[in-house]
Every structure is written in C-alpha cells, then in structure tokens.
C-alpha cells in the first residue's frame, strides 16, 4: 500500500511540475468580417474584457490581433472565440505561443494543461522547448473548408466534437 501511495504521489508531482513549467504567452487572432476601424475597435474592446488577457494590439491591415496573457492565469481559447463572435465577427485563424519545457510530442500526442487537452495533429517526433507556435485546427478557429479537410483526414471523433470524454480537447499543429 505504501508503494502505491508513493507511485501515485510521484506521478502527480511529475505531472504538476510539467504543467507548472509551461504557460501560454500570447496569441495571434485573425478575424474575418472586419470592414472598418469601428469593427476593429469593437472587437479589440471585447477581447480586453477577458480576465486572462493582458494586452490586445490590433493590426487593421492584416485583421490580426496580438494578445498577450497575464502570467499565472488560465487561458481559455473558447472565450477568445466567443468574444470575437459576440462582436459580430469570426476567427479565421488562431496561433498561440506556448512556453514548453522539454515536452516530447508526436502525432496524436495529447497534452493536458489546465482544464483542457491539446491533441497534436500532423506532427513528427519532436521535443518542444521554449516558446512554440501552435496553430489551432478546431471548428470556428479555421475556415469551414479547412475544418472539413481536417475532418476527412482524421478518424478521431474528438476532432469533430472538440471533446474527449468530458474534457475540452483542442487540436493543434506546429
């Protein structure tokens, strides 16, 4: 019994150490449907109301917003998408920068961070260290045609639903 408790404690500490050393740093959100500076301003204001967002820097020429995140706060990518939709627009691309600490990934690897899971798609065997750009491939984070293409290429139901069991699962690639 003591051995089992030791193993459970050791595994928990290892997982906690891995999670605590990793963190989202920033994101680049490309928004479709923006036609004027008022649209840009409404979207910027909406994203600034998210509690984990530190700054929002728009680039109206590219319809991209660079968002930096507050340290120690849990980042919820669905909240970003919701704020953009609530402003009347849609996300056409989301790239997040995540700071990893020697994380070994491969195709279909699942990484748990916070209350979410990140399913790596179409990646080779790599070790991620330092800031790494991850492109989110889920519905409403990419154009509908791209989502359809990715849906046809994967056999995983979690890609179509965004959920594995009861856990929100984001699908990402490098």
pLDDT of residue 170 exceeding 90: yes
> Is residue 14 in some structural domain?
no
5 found inside a domain:
no
Does residue 16 lie within any of the structural domains?
Answer: no
- The confidence score (pLDDT) of residue 1 equals 52
Note whether residue 67 is domain-resident: yes
| Mean pLDDT, residues 72-95 taken together | 95
Strands (E), the chain: 23-32, 53-59, 64-69, 90-105, 110-113, 116-120, 126-136, 163-164, 167-173
Percent of the chain at pLDDT > 70 equals: 87
62 is in which domain, residue-wise?
Answer: 22-173
Over 50: is that where the pLDDT of 18 sits?
A: no
Q: How many domains does the chain have?
A: 1
pLDDT at 21 over 90: no
- 117 assigned to some structural domain: yes
What confidence category does residue 5 fall into, taking pLDDT thresholds of 50, 70 and 90? very low
Percent of the chain with pLDDT over 90: 74
Give yes or no for residue 66 having a pLDDT over 60: yes
What's the pLDDT at 17? 37
3-state secondary structure of 126: strand
Cross-strand pairs, 55: 68
Q: Are the C-beta atoms of residues 105 and 156 closer than 8 Å to each other?
A: no
Q: Which of 127, 109, 85 is nearest to 172 (CA)?
A: 109
Please, which residues have CB within 8 angstroms of residue 117's CB and are 6 or more apart in sequence? 110, 111, 164, 167, 168, 169, 170
Is residue 7, in this structure, part of any structural domain at all?
A: no
Give ∠ CA 165-168-169 in degrees, rounded to 5: 90
- Which residue has better confidence, 20 or 36? 36
pLDDT, position 22: 63
Per residue in 132-156, pLDDT (tens digit) is 999 999 999 999 999 999 999 888 8
In angstroms, what CA-CA distances link 86 with 9, 34, 89, 155? 43, 13, 7, 32
Alpha helices in 27-169 (DSSP H): 37-48, 77-86, 144-153, 157-161
**Angle between helix 37-48 and helix 77-86 axes, rounded to 10 deg:** 140
pLDDT for the residue numbered 20: 40
- 54: which residues sit within 8 A by CB, 6+ positions away? 67, 68, 69, 70
Q: Is residue 110 part of a domain?
A: yes
CATH number at residue 160: 3.30.70.100
Most confident of 58-67, 76-85, 151-160: 76-85
CB 3 within 8 A of CB 61: no
Tell me: pLDDT of 55 over 50. yes
Q: So what's the pLDDT on residue 48?
A: 96
The answer to whether position 9 is within a domain reads: no
pTM of the model: 0.85
pLDDT average, residue stretch 110-116: 92
With the C-alpha atoms ordered 98, 94, 133, 112, is the resulting torsion angle positive or negative?
positive
């Amino acid at each position: 019994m003591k051995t089992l408790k030791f193993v459970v404690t050791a595994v928990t500490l290892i997982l906690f150490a891995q999670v605590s050393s990793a963190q989202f740093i920033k994101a680049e959100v490309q928004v479709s449907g923006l036609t004027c500076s008022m649209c840009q301003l409404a979207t910027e204001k909406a994203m600034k109301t998210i509690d984990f967002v530190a700054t929002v820097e728009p680039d109206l020429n590219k319809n991209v917003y660079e968002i930096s995140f507050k340290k120690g706060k849990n980042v919820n990518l669905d909240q970003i998408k919701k704020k953009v939709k609530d402003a009347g627009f849609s996300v056409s691309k989301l790239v997040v920068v995540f700071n990893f600490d020697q994380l070994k990934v491969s195709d279909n690897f699942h990484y748990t961070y916070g209350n979410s899971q990140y399913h790596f798609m179409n990646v080779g065997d790599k070790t991620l260290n330092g800031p790494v750009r991850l492109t989110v491939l889920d519905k409403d984070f990419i154009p509908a045609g791209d989502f359809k293409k990715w849906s046809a290429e994967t056999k995983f139901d979690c890609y179509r639903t965004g959920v594995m069991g009861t856990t929100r699962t984001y699908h990402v690639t490098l």
